[in-house]
Amino acid sequence: MRRNERESDVTRAVRSTLCAILAATALSPLAAQNMSAQGPLSNDGPARIFEVKGKGFLRNGQPHQVISGEMHYTRIPRAYWRDRLRKAKAMGLNTITTYSFWNAHEPRPGVYDFSGQNDIVAFIRDAQAEGLDVILRPGPYVCAEWELGGYPSWLLKDRKLVLRSIDPQYTAAVDRWLMRLGQEVKPLLLKNGGPIVAVQLENEYGAFGSDQTYLRGLEASYKRAGFADGILFTSNQGGDLAKGSLPNLPSIVNFGSGGAQSSVAKLEAYRPDGLRMVGEYWAGWFDKWGEEHHETDGKKEAEEMAYMLKRGYSISLYMVHGGTTFGWMNGADSHTGKDYHPDTTSYDYDAPIDEAGNPRYKYGLIAAAIAEVTGKPAAPTPAPTVATTFPVSPVRRSASLWDNLPAPVRAAQPKTFEELDQNFGYVLYRVAVPAGPAQTLALKGMHSYAQVYLNKALVGTLDRRLDQETVELPARAKPATLDILVENTGRVNYSHAIRTEQAGLTGAVTLAGQPLTDWQMFRLPMDNLSSLKLSAKPCSGPCFYEAEMTVSQPGDTYLDMRGAHKGQLWLNDHNLGRFWSIGPVHTLYTPAPWLKAGANRVLFFDLTGDASDRLTTVAKLIYGKVTNHREAQ
């Protein structure tokens, strides 16, 4: 069935359902207050005063419902920020929610980056220019399916440091970061004429712990950084409200579609007279490598939006637009610390606005729900941007990883990425092994994907997703060189596992139970590939490949990665992200602003490349298996 036919059917169904709901349900006291003599809620004019009053908000002294949606500046090409913000506002939103990402802004201790894609100030000012308020979530922990939940990996270099705790070493680093972030965003707080009307303390802490001393200490850090001058609140899932809240701060609830009635009931039971707000309403879900693509029920989400808004709830959709986790920044899900589910480059999230910024069918349904309740006519659904295709040449030049190794670091035992002062990419670990029979090589705590070579011949692959830590080495008639190429596939961003998310070889390495010593380690962050020795000679194994995309006029497109295996891709100067043939996403979003008319360089690294590697472009996302079930968080 074509998408427009699907939209038409679902739109008619939800409009009928919404009308029935609205006709049959009386306004709650809070909703009645919000729709009282002052007329429909509005976002006309900038906010000057914003406060919590009873169960709701007052904006410039008038009752106000926050109708927000989350989007992240780092996941949207900067040239498209205003476009995505306008589309969010056209859907009926009056507020944008965003995290700040510590590891994007402080890649090395004391080295800060607030430029380009990381210019959070420009993003917030763009929201203000579009007439939107902003809710800021500074973390420092943000989850967000983002690398290590937003923490910079250099925190893990000292294994004694304890994340999300009152460890003095940790809290000192957090305090320094928040003070530096405050220098950027404090002028954007409401009291200073900016659009930031509220700030979230921590992020779903109740799912992690219940240490009130920790939360109090973080609240004090927020105050020192200037983040607590207005509304400060906590947000947690329904079962964690008591563990993750502070008695002096508003507490709001997070949940996904299908959970509205039970979750708001939990919030109302916990704080009978407290603020009625949903901090994250998951209108979609994220994808993980080797699993299924998620598509959730937009009709149900529109119905629940209407239900919550009628009860006077303020709401923030997570996500209104997911975008793309460019580069190396995807996180990984884990609940026990043993399970490992790395997230895909695409963060489409099945959100109302898709990865490329186009409204999908649920956009119109949710817009209609908002319009029905607020009394504001829904704006026309924005027209989609038509994606195009461009020819991509066959591979023209290539380079073997073996011929492009840097000088090694030497140590008796393997060092982690963090101990090598490396955040992302790969590390090649090399050690001599004696002659001997076939034996078991054990890599305790291998994080997170490894290819094992004897004399540069591949003899095994280990995948943390599959709980693999051993491989059988074949018999050796004479001493041999053992190489272990380890990829950081994305550090876990959820659960207590974040505290032990060092990357690389993090534990003992043994052969037949005996430790291997005297290692060489080759750092491969792949952050500067200008010195690659490319040639027309064919390459197989771990190789870099160069092709050319010819662009007549820049337009959005997608690189179809089904002709490659596993690795990373760069377009001109932009790291588009990871690809992996196991799916469920088989395309890399390629935005028009990152293309130029004429020849565009495409460079990709493939762990198991060969002469068959070939890329093309397509005009839409390509998914593998699809599920309509969102697993419990």
Contacts of 87 (CB under 8 A, 6+ apart): 321, 353, 357, 359, 363, 382
Of residues 7, 147, 280, 418, which has the active-site annotation? 280
Q: Do 275 and 233 meet the contact criterion of CB atoms below 8 Å apart?
A: yes
Taking a C-beta distance cutoff of 8 angstroms, is the pair 138, 188 a contact? no
DSSP 8-state secondary structure symbol assigned to residue 215: H
Alpha-carbon Rg for the chain in angstroms: 25
What does the block give as tokens for 608?
């198991």
Do residues 592 and 556 make contact, with C-beta atoms less than 8 angstroms apart?
yes
Coil, strand or helix: which one is 315? strand
Which of the residues 204, 295, 372, 487 is marked catalytic? 204
- Is 145 assigned a catalytic role? no
**Cα-flanking dihedrals φ and ψ of residue 562, to 5°?**
-70, -10
Distance separating alpha carbons of residues 174 and 486, to the nearest angstrom: 30
**Angle in degrees, CA 183, 185, 190, rounded to 5:** 125
* β 616-618/231-237 pair status: unpaired
Nearest Cα to 330, choosing from 499, 181, 147, 72?
A: 147
Which amino acid appears at position 156 of this protein? L
- Report angle CA 311, 236, 62 to the nearest 5 degrees: 40
| 548 included as an active-site residue | no
Question: Alpha-carbon dihedral of residues 141, 144, 150, 156, nearest 10 degrees?
Answer: 80
3-state secondary structure of 342: strand
Find all residues with CB under 8 Å of 561, minimum gap 6, and list them.
569, 579, 581, 586, 587, 588, 615
Token couple for 34: 């919000």
Q: Which of 31, 47, 126 is nearest to 88 (CA)?
A: 126
Q: Is 396 helix (H, G, I), strand (E, B) or coil?
A: coil
CA angle 112, 115, 120 (to 5 degrees): 90
Name, in order, each residue with C-beta under 8 angstroms of 147's C-beta and a sequence gap of 6 or more: 103, 153, 328, 329, 330, 331, 424, 490, 491, 493
Please list the active-site residues: 204, 280
